[in-house]
């Protein structure tokens, strides 16, 4: 209507996982397994999203990472995106400078932007000696101003990388991004950070962080800070958490303290193969981190009073890049 105030732009929190089958959450099959007394995967926070929102049951995605993920970022069909195949050296099939990605669009629209997790669209082609090789393919070249990520597609398939790419960066950093040690130390000994699911305060937590714990805590800092800023200024945020979980290898999670704590009371879980146990624990760990992000929307300043909640003006999206390995749902 003439003279009407423009509607406030919603915040957007995008939860993007790697190689998780459609049937791996409650409403798509796991709740039915539970009802039958079968082993099932626990994803209470994702299930709550589905219950309160819309569960899209018909979709198409390429069966491997890069085409599917670049389609998500660029809006192109998987057959037309430049990154139309997985590329071991992370270079030939990189995103181009002229490609308009999600981060570009959201930054141009006035959003504060963040990206955490697996990038895999180029920027660094040496798997063993990471350095910036292609500035135009970096997340910082495509609108993302707050970053903690693994640029290399293959390096993002292991979970204890000693360093990760971070922005904002030092002033002379090539492409506005630099490597920092992958450590969870800043989140240890503080009541501001929940101890579950990471158990980061446990004396057996590794000196190199499990990558997805580091990504999730960085995302939590961003959401809390920018949710409070949204309440003060109205400036919206766009945050994309692109977990490496639950892509293989599965066994690395067993190096973490109390890695299977979510299933301590589950006798059926204990009968599963070690790989199935590890995979289920990865999914549930990821779900718990998602839960903390959702709580940050409900109570940004963590004072127990939800009058500052931004949940009703935040769009939360959960998506997997493609199905489980080998075309399966990869359920337990």
The first and second tokens of residue 116, run together, are 């955490």
Q: In what order do the strands lie in the sheet with 146-150?
A: 178-181, 163-167, 146-150, 112-118, 237-242, 11-17, 314-320
The per-residue b/e assignment along 190-201, b for 16 or more CB within 10 angstroms, e otherwise, is: eeebbeebbbbe
Mean pLDDT in residue range 147-176: 95
Classify burial at 10, counting beta carbons within 10 Å of its beta carbon; exposed 0-12, middle 13-18, buried 19 or more.
middle
Task: Note whether residue 5 is domain-resident.
Answer: no
Greater pLDDT, 88 or 274:
274
**Are residues 175 and 133 in contact, defined by beta-carbon separation less than 8 angstroms?**
no
Which stretches within the chain are classed as H helix?
Answer: 30-35, 44-52, 65-74, 102-108, 211-233, 274-298
Task: Express each pLDDT in 279-308 by its tens digit.
Answer: 999 999 999 999 999 999 999 999 999 999
Task: Note whether residue 3 is domain-resident.
Answer: no
The CATH number of whichever domain residue 42 belongs to comes to 3.40.720.10
pLDDT value, residue 97: 86
Task: Note whether residue 6 is domain-resident.
Answer: no
Report the percent of the chain where pLDDT is more than 90.
76
Count of domains for the chain: 1
Average pLDDT over the chain, rounded to an integer: 91
Mean pLDDT in residue range 155-183: 96
Task: Note whether residue 128 is domain-resident.
Answer: yes
Report phi then psi at 238, rounded to 5. Answer: -125, 115
CA distance 254 to 250: 8
Task: Note whether residue 332 is domain-resident.
Answer: no
pLDDT value, residue 323: 79
Task: Note whether residue 145 is domain-resident.
Answer: yes
Mean pLDDT in residue range 27-55: 96
Mean pLDDT in residue range 60-81: 81
Residue 36 structural domain: 11-327
Task: Note whether residue 111 is domain-resident.
Answer: yes
Candidates 233, 284, 317, 206; CA nearest to 25 is 284
pLDDT value, residue 321: 87
pLDDT-derived band at 331, boundaries 50, 70, 90: very low
pLDDT score of 209 more than 60:
yes
Three-class secondary structure of residue 166 per DSSP: strand
Task: Express each pLDDT in 180-207 by its tens digit.
Answer: 999 999 999 999 999 999 999 999 999 9
CA distance 285 to 279: 10
**Are residues 48 and 26 in contact, defined by beta-carbon separation less than 8 angstroms?**
no
């Amino acid at each position: 209507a003439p003279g009407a105030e423009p509607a406030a732009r919603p915040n957007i929190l995008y939860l993007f996982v790697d190689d998780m089958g459609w049937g791996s959450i409650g409403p798509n099959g796991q709740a039915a397994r539970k009802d039958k007394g079968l082993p099932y995967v626990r994803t209470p926070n994702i299930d709550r999203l589905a219950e309160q929102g819309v569960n899209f049951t018909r979709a198409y995605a390429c069966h491997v990472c890069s085409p599917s993920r670049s389609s998500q970022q660029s809006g192109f069909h998987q057959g037309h995106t430049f990154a139309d195949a997985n590329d071991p050296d992370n270079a030939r099939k990189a995103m181009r400078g002229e490609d308009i990605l999600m981060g570009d669009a959201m930054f141009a629209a006035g959003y504060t932007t963040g990206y955490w997790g697996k990038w895999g669209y180029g920027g660094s082609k040496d798997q063993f000696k990471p350095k910036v090789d292609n500035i135009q393919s970096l997340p910082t070249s495509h609108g993302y101003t707050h970053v903690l990520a693994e640029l290399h597609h293959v390096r993002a398939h292991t979970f204890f990388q000693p360093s990760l790419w971070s922005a904002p960066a030092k002033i002379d950093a090539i492409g506005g991004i630099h490597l920092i040690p992958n450590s969870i130390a800043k989140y240890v000994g503080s009541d501001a950070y929940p101890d579950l699911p990471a158990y980061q305060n446990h004396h057996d937590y590794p000196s190199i962080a499990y990558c997805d714990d580091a990504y999730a805590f960085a995302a939590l800092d961003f959401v809390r800070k920018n949710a409070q800023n949204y309440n003060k200024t109205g400036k919206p945020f766009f945050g994309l958490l692109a977990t490496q979980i639950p892509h293989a290898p599965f066994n690395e999670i067993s190096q973490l303290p109390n890695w299977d704590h979510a299933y301590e009371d589950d006798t059926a879980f204990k009968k599963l193969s070690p790989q199935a146990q590890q995979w289920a624990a990865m999914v549930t760990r990821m779900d718990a981190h998602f839960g903390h992000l959702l709580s940050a929307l409900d109570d940004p300043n963590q004072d127990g009073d939800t009058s500052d909640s931004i949940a009703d003006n935040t769009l939360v999206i959960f998506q997997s890049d493609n199905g489980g390995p080998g075309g399966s749902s990869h359920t337990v």
